[in-house]
């Protein structure tokens, strides 16, 4: 449901900065269903990639072989991303707060963490410069926290006006998709608001898995279940992904 919801959020013809895993699966699902002209950009420098199988990493040769062009990593960041030429960027994280700030650095104190996470990578630049950001994250009390252990990537900072004070070019997270539902920032307060529940999910369940007093839209809707077309395309991609993993071993 997360993958399908993310794919539906991508419009045909937009330029999308894609990560490996669920974001890549969602973007390629969109290309195979309603957005054949979606432009996929990967951090390794491939622009307009059209992989026939989900890539194993940003360095997967499938991306370069199917791309419209390949440029250097510095060009991807300086000319394309930081200059505001990317429409949509995907991000994930270990923690998210009510203003969609993200932590992918440490769990616990920075100097003596309980867990050392992979770190920032290109996430802060994606969060700062993309015209909009989609966050994919599973929802529970470990991920949806009242206070981040470390702020790796800025969503809306401490609230209204914070991104502007920092001089950030992009629009920030416009969609947070979880395994329970879909949240959007309130245009006035910048706080995340639950707008959709996935089929079979109850509101009390979402509240119980959120580390703050969750705001809920007045018109709370239920996500449309995946269509037969979406399921067929997704399962085909997953079969190719499994086949590719076996081949790589």
Q: Is 25 helix (H, G, I), strand (E, B) or coil?
A: helix
- Reference 18, options 4, 5, 44, 2; nearest CA is 44
| 120-133 mean pLDDT | 95
And the tokens for 8?
């539906």
User: Which pLDDT tens digit goes with each residue over 5-27?
Assistant: 999 999 999 999 998 889 999 99
Task: List the catalytic residues.
Answer: 43
What are the DSSP calls for 76-104, one per residue?
A: IIIIIITTT--SEEEE--SEE-TT--EE-
User: How far is it, in rounded angstroms, from Cα 205 to Cα 197?
Assistant: 10
| 109-126 mean pLDDT | 94
| 157-172 mean pLDDT | 96
And the tokens for 229?
């077309």
And the tokens for 39?
């432009």
Asked if the model's pLDDT at residue 244 lies above 60, the reply is: no
- Reference 126, options 93, 95, 159; nearest CA is 93
**CATH number belonging to the domain at 2-248, selected among 3.40.1080.10, 3.30.470.10, 3.40.50.300, 3.40.50.970:** 3.40.1080.10
Asked if the model's pLDDT at residue 31 lies above 90, the reply is: yes
């Amino acid at each position: 449901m997360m993958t399908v919801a993310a794919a539906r959020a991508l419009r045909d013809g937009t330029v999308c900065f894609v990560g490996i895993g669920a974001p890549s699966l969602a973007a390629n699902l969109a290309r195979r269903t309603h957005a054949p002209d979606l432009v996929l950009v990967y951090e390794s420098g491939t622009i307009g990639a059209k992989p026939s199988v989900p890539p194993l990493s940003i360095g997967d040769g499938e991306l370069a072989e199917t791309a419209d062009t390949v440029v250097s990593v510095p060009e991807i960041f300086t000319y394309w991303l930081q200059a505001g030429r990317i429409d949509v960027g995907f991000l994930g994280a270990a923690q998210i707060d009510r203003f969609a700030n993200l932590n992918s650095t440490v769990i616990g104190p920075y100097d003596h963490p309980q867990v050392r996470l992979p770190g920032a990578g290109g996430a802060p630049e994606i969060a700062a410069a993309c015209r909009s950001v989609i966050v994919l994250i599973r929802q529970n009390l470990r991920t949806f926290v009242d206070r981040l252990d470390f702020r790796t990537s800025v969503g809306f900072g401490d609230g209204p006006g914070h991104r502007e004070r920092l001089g950030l070019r992009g629009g920030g997270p416009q969609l947070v998709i979880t395994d329970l539902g879909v949240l959007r920032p309130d245009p006035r307060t910048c706080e995340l608001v639950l707008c959709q529940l996935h089929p079979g999910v109850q509101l009390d369940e979402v509240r119980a898995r959120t580390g703050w007093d969750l705001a809920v839209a007045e018109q709370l809707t239920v996500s449309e279940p995946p269509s037969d077309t979406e399921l067929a395309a997704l399962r085909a991609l997953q079969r190719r992904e499994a086949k590719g993993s076996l081949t790589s071993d």
